[in-house]
Amino acid sequence: MTGDIRKAQSELASRVMGRPGVEGVAIGQKAGKPCLVVYVSSQAGEKLVPRTAGGFRVVVERGKGFRKL
């Protein structure tokens, strides 16, 4: 299962990274089940994210973007 979600994460990242408002893709957990998390900084970014990827649920987390510390 771990390899499958990592593959799904990589494929999802290839699809959405670099698009406006999309900041990152990670592996997470929702309701006790593994999921993919896409971090977005705008509503436009949210619209670019599919609901599932590689058989896993995709959760969108909205933030103000990332910055270097």
Distance of alpha carbon 4 from alpha carbon 33, whole angstroms: 14
Task: Give the domain ranges of the chain.
Answer: 2-62
More confident residue, 68 or 55: 55
| Beta-bridge partners for 39 | 24, 61
pLDDT digits (tens, 9 = 90+) for 27-47: 999 999 999 999 999 888 888
Q: Which two tokens stand for residue 48?
A: 């670019």
Class of domain 2-62: alpha beta
Distance of alpha carbon 31 from alpha carbon 41, whole angstroms: 24
pLDDT greater than 60 at residue 50: yes
Give residue 1's pLDDT: 56
